Chain A
Amino acid sequence: MPLSVSLSVDGDISVIELIGELDAHTAPEFHESIEKAAAHGTAIVEIRMHEVAYMASAGLRSLVFAQQKVVDGVTIRVVGASEPVSRTIRTAGLDRSIVLADE
């Protein structure tokens, strides 16, 4: 299943909206938008995942990659992740460095 990625900047927040499945096939597209978001230099990079039904380990890697791309002090916030997706993030321990938010 494909992934649709859109990036917008709202004040001091870069918002990446993901719709679809985040896996090894679709992650490269997400990487591109992360690089663009990082280049905006906003204080927060928000990744909206309400419509992400499935995230494979390649998606976890994208989140780690995102942390590397932004400068220190920038918050990466994952918003609206479904239970399975947020569990995947928590199991791997990425919730220690990424903010998981409901809304």
Chain B
Amino acid sequence: MATTTVIIVDERPPPPQDLLDAMESVDATVTRRTITQLREGPVTGLPSADVLMASARCEPAVVRDVVLRLQGRHGAPVVVVYAVRDFEGLEGHVRFGHDYLVPPFLPALVRARLHGCSERAELGRRVREVEAHDEYIRNERELEIGREIQAGFLPEQLPVPAGWEIDVLFRPALQVSGDFYDVFELAHRRRLALVVADVCDKGVGSALFMALIRSLLRHTAENSGLQHLVATPHAPDAERSGPPVVGATPLLNAVTATNRYLTRNHLRQGYFATMFFSVLDPATGRLVYINGGHNPPLLLDADGGEPTPLEVTGPAVGVLPDTAYALGYAQLNPGDTLFVYTDGVPEARCPDGRFLGDDRMLELVSGPASRGRDVLARVDSAVREFTGDGEQHDDVTMLTLHRPSSVRRAPVTTAVA
């Protein structure tokens, strides 16, 4: 049998010597503490014990307070009070559920009492372990529910226009994630919206904001009426501004309205998202986009030229009130691939702490553009290999938009005003 650990309350008059002797003879480990030390001393200094032993003269409520403190630290000990003469003091303690010892303090009697107490203490510890485990399981289940609900905020199926290929790889680091992607049709299916976004930080907070931001973006974009579908691009940089483009208005509305909503209502919480939101004209391959503080997506050219980064056109969404977002333009010709990703890719870490890095990622996607799914597979296997057995630190999201070259290039139509 393991030795019983005992805290004995050391007040005046001191604990009777024959009781102390009896405990010593049965090999109990005894720690002496005053009531003040136990009630007011630092929590970190509280010893752990199976039994708290005190004189019946101690107030039962005071002893209970000590038990509660010890419980918070190590688990509750079983209380044993002793009386040498004033046996009526025992009554109040018994009402509190405390055990007791009375003279003579013979070693065999003390041993039997301590043994019973340490078994009760052990049982209590087991019960707490089971409860803690139960709570863990419950939390896991709640997180799993969170994950399932969040999955409902990702598109079930991607609407892929004829003559195009869209592939996505989405691997959250935790059960719930701050990354998301979305693909949906606009302007009576004449345009396709593609979004990849990363809500800052991670965990449940990011996941809640993911649900909000995704909904705001999509709802606003889908409800920007057709009469407003043509925007006059707002671009400080004249090079960038192009002709009015169908789909640019839902894009601008979605991003500015989401930014306004977040900065008006949630600035204090400090959550924001970096995002790449683009609208494709599937007939022409023309792309209009807003890059709100996101890692620049790479346009991979069919001939293997240097990838073109689609640089930021405004700050992250949800940071600065009243921000104007500029539009960016790109053209996907047959054979081209657009590679959009979140920072989980270049910031993938190997177990010794090094990062995959932008240069390595650029190397992986460079060369003649292949189909999007090949690009994803290449980057993904490099990320996995690099991470090795290490923990995945951040969500990884990648989306490719590929225009196969075998498809005849559709005739360029003029944007309908």
Contact = CB atoms under 8 A, between A and B. Distances in A.
Interface in B291-332: 292-295, 312, 314-316, 319-320, 323
Contacts of B271: 61
B274 interface: yes
Given A68-B267, A92-B316, A94-B319, A57 B200 contact: yes
Nearest to A62: B270
Interface in B252-280: 267-268, 270-272, 274
Nearest to A95: B315
B320 A93 contact: yes
Nearest to A54: B355
B122 interface: no
Contacts of A54: 355
Nearest to A21: B353
B343 interface: yes
B320 A97 contact: yes
A61 B200 contact: yes
What band does the interface of chain A fall in when counting residues whose beta carbon is under 8 Å from B?
Answer: 20 to 34
B319 A1 contact: no
A64 B266 CA distance: 11
Interface in A71-100: 91-94, 96-97
A41 B73 CA distance: 38
Contacts of A60: 200, 272, 316
Contacts of A57: 178, 198, 200-201, 274, 343
Interface in B189-222: 198, 200-203
A94 B267 CA distance: 14
B394 interface: yes
Q: Which of the listed residues A54, A60, A64 has the most CB atoms from chain B within 10 Å of its own CB?
A: A64
Interface in B317-361: 319-320, 323, 343, 347, 353, 355
Interface in A21-61: 23-24, 27, 54, 56-58, 60-61
A27 B198 CA distance: 18
A23 B316 CA distance: 18
Q: Which of the listed residues A27, A65, A91, A97 has the most CB atoms from chain B within 10 Å of its own CB?
A: A91
Contacts of A58: 200-202
Contacts of B316: 60, 92-94
Contact of A68 (B203, B268, B323, B355): B268
Interface string A1-27: 100000000000000000000011001
B358 to A, nearest CB: 9
Contacts of A61: 200-201, 270-272
Contacts of B394: 56
A27 B270 CA distance: 12
Contact of B201 (A24, A94, A97): A24
B270 A68 contact: yes
A68 to B, nearest CB: 5
Contacts of B201: 24, 27, 57-58, 61
A93 B293 contact: yes
Given A57-B178, A68-B270, 11 more contacts: A24-B201, A27-B201, A58-B200, A61-B272, A64-B270, A65-B270, A91-B295, A91-B312, A94-B315, A96-B315, A97-B319
Interface of A: 1, 23-24, 27, 54, 56-58, 60-62, 64-65, 68, 91-94, 96-97
29 contacts: A1-B353, A24-B202, A24-B203, A54-B355, A56-B343, A56-B347, A57-B178, A57-B343, A60-B316, A61-B200, A61-B271, A64-B267, A64-B272, A64-B319, A68-B268, A68-B270, A91-B294, A92-B272, A92-B293, A93-B293, A93-B312, A93-B316, A93-B319, A93-B320, A93-B323, A94-B315, A94-B316, A94-B319, A97-B320
Interface of B: 178, 198, 200-203, 267-268, 270-272, 274, 292-295, 312, 314-316, 319-320, 323, 343, 347, 353, 355, 393-394
